Amino acid sequence: MSVRLSEEERLERLREIREAYRTYPVIPYFKDEDELRWSLQHGNVDFIISSEDYTARTRGGIGFWRRTRPWGNASVGYIIRAPTIEHALGCVGRIVEMEKPRLIYFRVTTLDMPHPRVSYVDEAMRELDEIERELSLGNYIRRELHDC
Amino acid sequence: MTVSVDIIREAKRYYEEFRGDPPAAEEIVSDEDYAYVEYYRPMPVTFGFEIEQPDRKICQILRLTYEWHYDGSGPYETATPPGTYPGRKIKEFIDTCKRNPSCTWEWVSEMPHPRMEGRIVGCGSHIHFRPREDVEYIRREYLEAWTTAHNTLVECVPLVLPMFAWGRDGVFTFRREALYWARLVTRRLSPASMRRFLEPSYTGHPYESVALNKKTWEKPLTLELRLNETHPAIAYELAIILNRIIRKCFERGFVSPKMRDRLDTISKIEAAVRDSIEYEQNLYSMLEQVGPIRFIRGREIPGLDDEYENYLKLFDDILINYGHPYPPMARVCRLFLHRGEPWKNPHAVWNTFAPFGEFRWDQPEIPSM
């Protein structure tokens, strides 16, 4: 089932998507390592941590990381690849210690993370592409994509 | 025991500028006030409140009566359990404070960060909403209900900001790091994306003014209003106003309000708040400069106009059309309608639940009974 939008609302939605895509995704924030471990164990690959209030307990950890685009309202972003979730948590702890107080976006993959692995950013971007495609064609949008 | 018909008539006359629906059964705060109920529509959401203050402010009796804990964010906090009678829970909390000597205190909106020198953390009364599954028409469209409630809050929270703020250092403004810990969000969700957050595998608590909050896997998902730094008596009325707006959006077919040029408008509101915080300027004066505010036709706040000259005109119309003419709601709405400042009323905020005729704001210029 589709919903018909007025021309004004269609243009407004398209503008919003184009202008606000970086802050658009809802990305989970964590301040506790156990909460984060649980999320990773359920295949969620990305999250934000505030280095002020995150408590890291796992130390060390093998893995490598590199900078990436910070999503949401994070000011810095990292991709971490590690053999296990525990190693990844160690890397997260090291980055948090190393960084100045601020919000850090992480995207983590490890060999022991279950499938399907889900990125909140990728899913949000996929949905925005779909919305943009539908609205570029006309004034109708599928009900499940409509911001009711 | 009930309030007499004469008192109800007098209260209604005294607060006649408020035109909102009379209170529903679930908004009544004590059995004595039951006579105020003239109207019944089920609330669309359940409510929970997190009350946060510095440890040293909490008296021994309150520590023993409620369960308090630290969650890592700084202040000492307690939560009222979620339910459909928020007024009763908040009144019970306030009554406990008032019954015991030295258990009320001067509310504060911020405190030093416990671990980081020079940083500030917020205190307040965060509100948690959750659409009700036990109400038939909501259960039938549960995904739409969540999406509409989320989008309604994203759109309306920036429009009632004075009710979130407490004041500090002699100025009516927000706490210093308010927008860091609870940034204003512009993103609206679709049912497809909301489905993702209702799945059991989601946990998290974004630092956003309207946050999809599920701290641990055992807890239910809630829509958390994190910007709220004010006293529970004001937070309660704010929650009722937002609940009433959400209900009317549900009743018109799950259609949330939506502003025109919304990115621009929200960014101007955010800039006004930022300037108010940074330059310690009165929040009302800064917000008054934002405008005009327009809504997409058919997506106005239910019952309101589609265009307002400035922020405060819209804010007043929300209070008038969603505040009902009975205490305690009418008192709190009147405080803001007369540009009262919560921090200037440190004693009165503990008394807003007093019977009609027995109440005064500390600011003498605010009419009160």
Assess B299–A contact: CB distance below 8 Å, yes or no.
yes
What are the tens digits of pLDDT across the range B274-325? 999 999 999 999 999 999 999 999 999 999 999 999 999 999 999 999 999 9
| Cα–chain center distance at B102 | 26
Other C-beta atoms closer than 10 Å to the C-beta of B241 total 23
Which two tokens mark A34?
């156990």
Write the burial class of residue B226 (CB in 10 Å: 0-12 exposed, 13-18 middle, 19+ buried).
Answer: buried
d(C-alpha B236, C-alpha B2), whole Å: 22
Residue B308 phi, psi dihedral angles, 5° rounding: -135, 145
Give A54→chain B minimum CA distance, Å: 8
SS3 A127: helix
d(C-alpha B227, C-alpha B266), whole Å: 15
| Nearest-CB residue to B193 (from A19, A42, A127) | A127
CB contact under 8 A, A35 and B216: yes
What are the tens digits of pLDDT across the range B29-48? 998 888 898 888 899 999 99
What are the tens digits of pLDDT across the range B64-86? 999 998 877 788 899 988 889 99
The pLDDT-based confidence of B175 (bands split at 50, 70, 90) is: very high
Query: Count of H helices and E strands in chain A?
Result: 4, 7
B145 with B247: CB under 8 angstroms?
no
Which two tokens mark A127?
């949905």
Assess A33–B contact: CB distance below 8 Å, yes or no.
no
Assess B298–A contact: CB distance below 8 Å, yes or no.
yes
| Nearest-CB residue to B217 (from A38, A127, A146) | A38
d(C-alpha B322, C-alpha B312), whole Å: 15
The residues, any chain, with a CB within 8 Å of residue A146's CB and separated by 6 or more, are: A3, A5, B190, B191
Residue B225 phi, psi dihedral angles, 5° rounding: -100, 100
Q: How far is residue B51 from each of residues B34, B58, B90, measured CA to CA in Å?
A: 27, 11, 10
What are the tens digits of pLDDT across the range A35-44? 999 999 999 9
Assess B324–A contact: CB distance below 8 Å, yes or no.
no
What's the pLDDT at B1?
52
B205 with B224: CB under 8 angstroms?
yes
The pLDDT-based confidence of B334 (bands split at 50, 70, 90) is: very high
CB contact under 8 A, B191 and A148: yes
The residues, any chain, with a CB within 8 Å of residue B333's CB and separated by 6 or more, are: B18, B237, B241, B319, B320, B323
More confident residue, A26 or B269: B269
The pLDDT-based confidence of B115 (bands split at 50, 70, 90) is: confident
Q: What's the whole-model pTM score?
A: 0.94
Report which residue type is found at B225: L
Q: ipTM value of the model?
A: 0.91
Beta bridge mates, B222: B213
Nearest CA in chain B to A40: B201
Average pLDDT over residues B13-30: 92
> Which residues, numbered 9 to 38 in chain B, qualify as contacts with chain A under a Cβ-Cβ cut-off of 8 Å?
none
Most confident of A97-111, B74-88, B143-157: B143-157
B102 with B59: CB under 8 angstroms?
yes
Share of chain B above pLDDT 90, in %: 79
**What stretches of chain A show up as alpha helix (H) in DSSP?**
7-20, 33-41, 85-98, 120-137
SS3 A44: strand
What's the pLDDT at A16?
85
